[in-house]
Amino acid sequence: MKSLKIATLLLLVSFSAFKAKAQSETFKAFKVDVALGYAAPSGSGSKAGILFAVEPKYSMSDQLTLGLRMEWALTAYSIEKDGVSYAGDIKSTGSYLATADYMFNTNKVRPFAGLGVGIYSVAGASFSSDNSSLQTNTVASSTKFGFAPRVGAELGHFRAAIEYNFAGKDDNIKYNYLGFKIGAFFGGGRR
């Protein structure tokens, strides 16, 4: 909860840096992005993962949007199968980032580049199983400062993006991941 308060404070400070009348002239000022995607963790032995994100935004101009990205990713590492037994690691990463996107045009297809900076809450667990039992080993959770550069495009009310999340590491556990997202946004269309 503390990390959410810090990220919200960063967002509010960003908004106050601009004049109150500064906003997009072509597009509606407020929108909320909702996205699902694939999370590709870094490191050897990494496997597939999934992610979900929600990002409310405010358009400062036709080309600059500021927002607060809340994203949750679940990734797997080193899942090995030996006959009837399994072993591996599962990582969980939640993030609260103040974001800024620069839209390169005001056309129907709008490519963009952006950056998010904020707090990552990370945790992991190891597991092993055989026919008779399942054993888990939980890794302590921690909060880290990180960032996520991104590129993508919007078409109508749909959005696709690629982001690399620099979420840090604990001992030998890396929480960084590449996210491929597709989603839609509500609000924010042309005036």
Q: What is the pLDDT of residues 45-77, one digit of tens each?
A: 667 899 999 999 999 998 999 999 999 999 887
**What CATH number has the domain bearing residue 148?**
2.40.160.20
Phi, psi of 83 (to 5 degrees): 70, -110
Reported as type and span, the H/E element at residue 85 is: strand 85-103
Average pLDDT over residues 172-189: 87
- Whole-angstrom distance, CA of residue 33 vs CA of residue 159: 8
Residue 8 placed within a domain: yes
Residue 112's domain comprises 2-79+96-122+141-187
- Give domain status of residue 90, yes or no: no
For residue 150, pLDDT over 70 is answered with yes
- Classify residue 91: in a domain, yes or no: no
Query: How many CB atoms are closer than 10 A to CB 13?
Result: 10
The better pLDDT of the pair 91, 77 is held by 91
- Cα-based distances in Å from 36 to 33, 102, 161: 10, 22, 11
Number of domains, the chain: 1
Instruction: Report yes or no on 53 lying in a domain.
Output: yes
| C-alpha–C-alpha distance, residues 167 and 169, integer Å | 7
pLDDT for residue 141: 81
Distance of CA 173 to the CA centre of its chain: 19
Query: Which secondary structure element, helix H or strand E, spans residue 10, and what is its range?
Result: helix 2-16
Residue 169 resides in a domain: yes
Let me know if 115 is exposed, middle or buried by CB neighbors in 10 A (0-12, 13-18, 19+): middle
Which tokens is 109 given? Answer: 């297809």
3-state DSSP call for residue 15? helix
Confirm whether 153 is domain-assigned: yes
Instruction: Read off the pTM.
Output: 0.78
* Residue 178 included in any domain: yes
Instruction: Look at residue 135 and tell me if it is in a domain.
Output: no
For residue 98, what are the β-bridge partners? 68, 117
Total residues found in the chain within this entry: 191
